[in-house]
């Protein structure tokens, strides 16, 4: 699988994958124009939205009304390394959610593929070549 990364100008860096373009930029104080999310923000969003999809699938499979379903993602970050040290996900279940499924929906959120990739990180190989 390949994803194409392009550099459209300034501090913008885009990713093209599966027919979609994900645009990123840096904040003004880092030389960007703040025209799109920073890559790090997209990383956090991918954690939350991935877990959210699993929660949504769980509810849909059991025909549980998702009106009012919400989730909050909070994180702690090491100020020196800028690496995340803790991620918390709080699922706000809608009124009438069957209490017998509370532990199961938490487990479903934990099945998120993004989270599982962090827990078992891939090997990274970075190369460079000079175009002819």
Same domain, 81 and 97: yes
Same domain, 47 and 107: yes
The answer, yes or no, to whether residue 69 has pLDDT greater than 90, is: yes
Mark residue 110 as left, alpha or beta (left: phi above 0; alpha: psi -120 to 50; beta: remaining). alpha
- Domain for residue 131, yes or no? no
Pairing of strands 12-17, 4-9: antiparallel
Q: Specify the number of domains making up the chain.
A: 2
Task: Give the domain extent around 27.
Answer: 1-36
Q: Write down the pTM of the prediction.
A: 0.89
pLDDT band at 48 (very low <50, low <70, confident <90, very high): very high
Q: Copy the structure tokens of residue 7.
A: 């550099």
Instruction: Please give the average per-residue pLDDT across 21-35, as a whole number.
Output: 97
């Amino acid at each position: 699988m390949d994803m194409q990364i392009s550099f459209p100008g300034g501090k913008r860096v885009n990713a093209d994958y599966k027919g979609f373009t994900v645009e990123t930029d840096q904040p003004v104080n880092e030389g960007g124009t703040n025209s799109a999310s920073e890559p790090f923000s997209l990383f956090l969003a991918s954690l939350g939205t991935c877990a959210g999809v699993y929660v949504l699938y769980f509810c849909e499979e059991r025909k549980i009304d998702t009106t009012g379903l919400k989730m909050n993602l909070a994180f702690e970050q090491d100020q020196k390394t800028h690496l995340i040290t803790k991620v918390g996900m709080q699922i706000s279940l809608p009124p009438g959610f069957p209490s017998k499924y509370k532990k199961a929906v938490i487990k479903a959120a934990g099945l998120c593929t993004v989270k599982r990739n962090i827990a078992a990180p891939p090997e990274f190989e970075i190369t460079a070549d000079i175009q002819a």
